[in-house]
Amino acid sequence: MTQWQGQLTKIDDYRWKIPDNYKTGMRVPGLIYASKEMLESIREEQTPEQVANVAFLPGYSGLLPGYAGHSLGIWLPHRWCSSDEH
């Protein structure tokens, strides 16, 4: 499988953002919680693509790595997230 090549912006040591302009129609940025050491396997598993797909749904998306493709990860209503987090 090809490694995911999209843009991840580092927010801090454990948060990485997929900009909401990665795919037309994303309602919010995607947010991944992971250490830098985990990013290679996350990209290999296409996890950021899954996060981007969830960002089409109403609300705010984030993913804690685990079983790729088996959950939506963290799903918080947009109103619960402060505007400086995305």
Contacts of 17 (CB under 8 A, 6+ apart): 8, 9, 11, 29, 30, 31, 32, 86
pLDDT at residue 33, rounded to an integer: 86
* Cβ atoms of residues 33 and 4 within 8 Å: no
Give the helix ranges, DSSP H, for 16-78: 39-44, 47-54
Q: Which residues pair with 31 in a beta bridge?
A: 17, 62
Q: pTM score, two decimals?
A: 0.69
Residue spans of the domains in the chain: they are: 1-67
pLDDT at residue 58, rounded to an integer: 72
How far is C-alpha 85 from the chain's CA centre?
A: 13
For residue 32, the one-letter residue type is I
pLDDT at residue 76, rounded to an integer: 47
pLDDT at residue 24, rounded to an integer: 95
